[in-house]
Amino acid sequence: MSVEWKLVFEIFWTFFKISPVTFGGGFAMIPLIIKEIVEKRKWLTNEEITDVIALSQTVPGAIAVNSATFIGYKIGGIRGTLAAMIGVSLPTFLIVLVLGVSYFYLDDNPKLEAAFVSIRVTIVAIIVYAAIKIAKTAIFDKTTFFIMAAGVPALFFIHPIIAIFLGAITGVIAVSIKKKLGYLIEMKNSKEEDPANDPEYYMGAGI
């Protein structure tokens, strides 16, 4: 198997493993994407994965599939895109098919209901964890903190896409004002850890 096709298979297998264990939708998948793509395989940085997640919410479709598509393309081009899309979609399709058939026979099962209650609570914790991980990269000065603080309550009243565009416009205006005032402009968190300092970085660099 050539190196290129090996990478394509690794992309497929990575998303194939992530998809079945992420009950609760695309946002519940974000922590596992970060762990696999950023921390384990070092394919993307924290900053790049944050950009991918933001971009995935600005286009139609499920955030899980959109994120997988963008990540796959960035890593392996068109082949990587197809591998990621199939990898993230196939397990979900099979699980939904099985659950759809089983639901009619287990609808009133109290144990099943209890399991879903616990799953819903766990999903909340997973999403909060993902938000904290992304915030460490996305929030690095007063401007980004202000955009976040204003954006959270705004999401209760406006569509997320509108919030993203308003945030982008606010960022452009803030940078323009800082330039005119002669302030130092930061575009990323200077305190973010360099992945090369991770003891596992060089161990996984050739994988």
- Count the domains in the chain: 2
Among the residues of the chain, which ranges form H helices? 3-18, 26-33, 46-56, 63-106, 110-138, 142-154, 160-181, 201-204
pLDDT of residue 13: 93
Mean pLDDT by 10 residues, the chain (207 residues): 82 88 69 87 87 80 85 91 92 82 71 75 79 78 84 86 84 83 65 45 35
Same domain, 166 and 73: no
User: What amino acid is encoded at 64 in this protein?
Assistant: A
Q: Considering the domain boundaries, does residue 54 fall inside one?
A: yes
pLDDT of residue 161: 80
In this structure, are 150 and 111 located in the same domain?
no
Same domain, 52 and 72: yes
Co-location of 110 and 147 in the same domain:
no
* Residue 202 domain-assigned (yes or no): no
Question: Whole-model pTM?
Answer: 0.58
Provide the sign of the torsion angle of the four alpha carbons 40, 41, 44, 50, taken in this order. Answer: negative
Are 146 and 48 contained in the same domain? no
- Do 128 and 163 sit in the same domain of this protein? no
Query: What range defines the domain where residue 51 resides?
Result: 1-137
Residue 99 domain-assigned? yes
Residue 92 included in any domain = yes
Residue 195 lies in a domain: no
DSSP assignment letter at 206:
T
